[in-house]
Structure 1
Amino acid sequence: MYDLTGFQRDLLYVIAGLDEPHGLAIKDELEEYYEKEIHHGRLYPNLDTLVEKGLVEKGQRDRRTNFYTLTRRGRRELKARKEWEANYVDVEYDGVHV
């Protein structure tokens, strides 16, 4: 996970939070978060990189639509990242630790 960009880590979080999302669903989530347009030329090459690294699996829903899921390795990497973050981030927001 150390060699991923922040954008690639965000892709993993979005994929983990949705049920077999297709590219446009991922794009919509990230555009809402970043509050700006995410171009296809940025999205799909980064998804392909995550597939090549074995963190994400790409499936085909139909001839035009692919979907994405985390691999076992991808889930392990996210879990390890969250544990690492917990060592450094202890923020309270409205009485809730995040």
Structure 2
Amino acid sequence: MYDLTGFQRDLLYVIAGSDDPHGLAIKDELEKYYEKEIHHGRLYPNLDTLVGKGLIEKGHRDRRTNYYTVTRRGQREIDARTDWQAQYVDPVA
């Protein structure tokens, strides 16, 4: 996960914390967090990057709507990142 941008990590976390979200649901969650608009030109290429790295999978609900799920590899990366962060940040604080 060290080679991901912060935005890509945030995408991965949002997808992991949701039930097969579609692109606009992911976009909405990140807009709440960032408190600004996320453009499609930023969102979808970064989702494609995560797919290409094998961290998420893209499925199709219909001809216009894709959904995303975290792969086993993606979950292992999240778990490793969480363990690494725990060395430096007290999760109780």
TM-score (norm 2): 0.98
- Read off the aligned partner of 1:10 and give its amino acid letter: D
Higher gyration radius (CA): 1
Cα distance in structure 1, aligned partners of 2:78 and 2:17: 12
Counterpart in the other structure of 1:61? 61
Q: What whole-Å deviation, never above 9, does each CA across 1:40-85 have from its counterpart, x for those lacking one? A: 0000000000000000000000000000000000000000000000
Task: List gaps (5 residues or longer) in structure 1.
Answer: 92-96
Aligned residues: 93
Distance in 2 (CA, whole Å) between partners of 1:90 and 1:18 is 25
Runs of at least 4 residues off by over 4 Å: none
Instruction: Please name the residue that 2:80 is paired with.
Output: 80
Q: Which amino acid aligns with 1:11?
A: L
Q: How does 1:1-98 map to 2 (within 5 A)?
A: 1-90=1-90, 97=92
Q: Structure 2: state its 5+ residue gaps.
A: none
In the alignment, the residues of structure 2 paired with residue 80 and residue 3 of structure 1 have an alpha-carbon distance, to the nearest angstrom, of: 14
Paired with 1:3 and 1:13, the residues of 2 have a C-alpha distance of 15
| Root-mean-square deviation over aligned CA pairs | 0.8
* Distance in 1 between residues matched to 2:67 and 2:43, nearest whole Å: 13
CA distance in 2, matches of 1:11, 1:83: 19
Give the secondary-structure state (helix, strand or coil) at the position aligned to 1:67. strand
Q: Which amino acid aligns with 1:81?
A: R
